[in-house]
Chain A
Amino acid sequence: MLALREILHSKLKFALIALAIGLVVALTMTLSAMSEGLVTGMTGAKGNLDADAIVFQADTYLNLERSLLTEDDIARIGETPGVSEVYGVGHVFISAKAPGESLDTHAFGLGGDFEQLPIVEGKGGTPADGEAIVDITAQADGVELGDTLRLTPIDRELTVIGFTESRRYVMAPVFYVNLDTYEDLRAATMFGAMSETTDAELPTSTHITDAVDGNVSVAAVKLEPGVTLEEFTASLDADFEAVSPEEAALAGNGMPVMILAVNGIQAVSFVIGALVIGVFFYITTLHKTGQIAAIKALGASNAFVYRQLLLQILVLVTVGALAGTGLALGAGAGMPPAMAFDPRLDRWGVTLALVYLMAFVGSLFSLRSILRIDPATALDHAEH
């Protein structure tokens, strides 16, 4: 084929074009993985809860930190038609003294099955009081299996018994604890370290713990087979608000605005990519105006010439896509674990499809110039 022969004849020129396409692909893929990493880092612990619905206290705008459900609330949610299982999930801010530096992070109390946490190191199952399963990105702060971390200023300790993955919240590794430990941490966080001794002036830790006993932030709900989220939401008491885990993940903490910004950056990179690829092929087409005029004068149709261009684009974009994927993976491998980088095949597949699409759109610039090339110019040399 003409297109392939030309590529083989001008290897350097086309290698540089493929490299430029590869850089565009690497840029868009890296942005995609970083935005995905940002979403996972911000919301992984929420979005990956094993549930069909997450129930918040009404009027808390799906905010995990503001929602508060009592033991009675959890029971009422459990009685809603279509619910097969419900468990409480509590959230509390903690500061842990890690070997590296202090971690300003979050503890999640899980009232449900801890088997939902994928264990990548250590042991799984429900942790005992004072134990935690931690997102593996905590290792970047020097946290190791078996470490006992001091929580400040509440004077508590958590021992790391296992590491899980993709369970960060607001970019910090989540510490998963049982509900009793959660309640203790919450009480201590609310009122600081307290004396066990009875004092007429101050409430004791026992009083406080009793006061928050059974309280959690949200309820994770599993629905009976065939029951939809809409049906469940319709039956739910007005004191509560339910959404899917994915929706819950993307709510609060400024996530909608952040996602909008990240999507905007990706959209701009795609537009710039389309222009770059389009301009490259437009310039190569302009350089070949005389040659294209001659081929058309010899009897080539516009479709024939455009097909050759499309074939070249297909080959170069494929080579560029492979190179770009390699570059993006390399960039990801070189990033520190705490960095938001979460390559997902489906998103990269979409990215690649868009790269092919923008290459095609870019080729339309060239098609316009191909159509405008007058074959008569092949014979035209300074006279009429």
Chain B
Amino acid sequence: MSLLEVRNVTKAYGSGRGVVTALEDITFSVDAGSMLAILGPSGSGKTTLLSIIAGLLQPTSGEILIDDRAIHLRSSREAAAYRRDKVGIVFQDYHLIPYLSAADNLLLMPRLAGRVTHDHREKAHGLLEEFGLGKRAKHVPSELSGGERQRVAIARALMNDPEIMLVDEPTANLDTERGMQVVTMLGEHVRGRDMTCLMVTHDPRMCAGADAVLRLVDGRVVAEE
């Protein structure tokens, strides 16, 4: 059964003659426990697609379905709650909070939801251990390497047990070897947790760790592998 379904999504900016179509009639689905790589050059619309699935942008037409239920986000509050409860995002630039330790960056997620409990702290430390960062829990991002920050960002995205994980160019700031390690690790966690992962990348080598690949060019799907 498909966990995530993107159905006839189009996104256009502007109006009249100045209209720019970023995405055109995108349709695909992703099963639970699998990882989809969205591959495309710069300007192909992959980040726009990720933003729409994350509830950060509204599609001009089409819809997003999770578990066969269409997502309708009528307000910024609803969109925020959707991202908090259903989605985990890993940003290309990590966007870790510079004044919070690695552990506290993970605890940001339950904090946004309301309160931090002892269970949350246990979970955060467990995730950091899992990602080999147990001894770096109290370090702030400026004291971590690029790879460590990437892993903290991934662990943070997993903190609220999301149904969908959205990963934006996870290897952009890493060398190929470390990039591959991150993608492999990401795939293991996604399959182990039975969630759906969409990974945006411009690097075809990183698609090896994905279960399926969607190629985007100029806002259109040109291939599904």
Contact = CB atoms under 8 A, between A and B. Distances in A.
Interface string B94-137: 01011110001000110111000000000000000000000000
Interface string B163-181: 0000010000000000000
A376 B51 contact: yes
Contact of A375 (B48, B50, B56, B93): B56
A277 B214 CA distance: 51
A5 B104 contact: yes
B81 interface: yes
Contact of B81 (A290, A299, A302, A376): A299
Given A2-B111, A9-B99, A376 B84 contact: no
Contact of B99 (A10, A299, A381): A10
B91 A295 contact: no
Contacts of B44: 383
Contact of B80 (A294, A296, A378, A380): A296
B89 A295 contact: no
A137 to B, nearest CB: 52
A299 B98 contact: no
Contact of B108 (A298, A302, A376): A298
Contact of B43 (A9, A376, A380, A384): A384
Contact of B56 (A295, A379, A384): A379
Contacts of B76: 301-302
Contacts of A380: 47, 51
A6 B111 CA distance: 15
A300 interface: yes
Contacts of A298: 83-84, 89, 108-109, 112, 156
Interface string A280-315: 000000000011001111111110100000000000
B51 A301 contact: no
Contacts of A378: 56, 89, 91, 95
B132 to A, nearest CB: 23
Given A2-B97, A376-B51, A381 B92 contact: yes
Contacts of A381: 47, 92-93
A382 interface: yes
Contact of B91 (A6, A9, A10, A294): A294
Contacts of B108: 2, 295, 298
A304 B112 contact: yes
B200 to A, nearest CB: 9
B57 A5 contact: no
Contacts of A291: 95, 97-98
Interface in A1-24: 2, 5-6, 8-10
Central interface residue in A296, A297, A300, A379, by most chain B CB within 10 Å:
A379
B197 to A, nearest CB: 16
B26 interface: no
Contact of B54 (A5, A6, A297, A300): A297
Given A5-B99, A9-B140, A295-B112, A382 B42 contact: yes
Central interface residue in B47, B80, B83, B156, by most chain A CB within 10 Å:
B80
Interface string A89-102: 00000000000000
B33 interface: no
Nearest to A6: B99
Central interface residue in A8, A296, A299, by most chain B CB within 10 Å:
A299
Contacts of A304: 112
A300 B104 contact: no
A300 B80 contact: yes
B47 A290 contact: no
B80 A299 contact: yes
B92 to A, nearest CB: 6
Nearest to B100: A5
B45 A384 contact: yes
B66 interface: no
Nearest to B56: A376
Interface in A260-294: 290-291, 294
A384 B13 contact: yes
A174 B6 CA distance: 88
B140 A297 contact: no
B98 A9 contact: yes
Given A294-B91, A298-B84, A383 B99 contact: no
A300 B82 CA distance: 10
Nearest to A303: B77
Contacts of A296: 80
Interface in A114-162: none
Interface string B34-51: 000000001111111011
A384 B47 contact: yes
Interface in B51-97: 51, 54, 56-57, 76-77, 80-85, 87, 89, 91-93, 95, 97
Contacts of B77: 301
B144 interface: no
B113 to A, nearest CB: 7
A301 B91 contact: no
What 7 pairs across the A-B complex have the smallest Cβ distances?
A299-B84, A9-B99, A294-B95, A376-B56, A299-B83, A384-B22, A383-B43
Given A298-B84, A376-B51, 4 more contacts: A297-B95, A299-B81, A299-B83, A300-B80
6 contacts: A294-B95, A295-B97, A299-B87, A299-B109, A299-B160, A383-B46
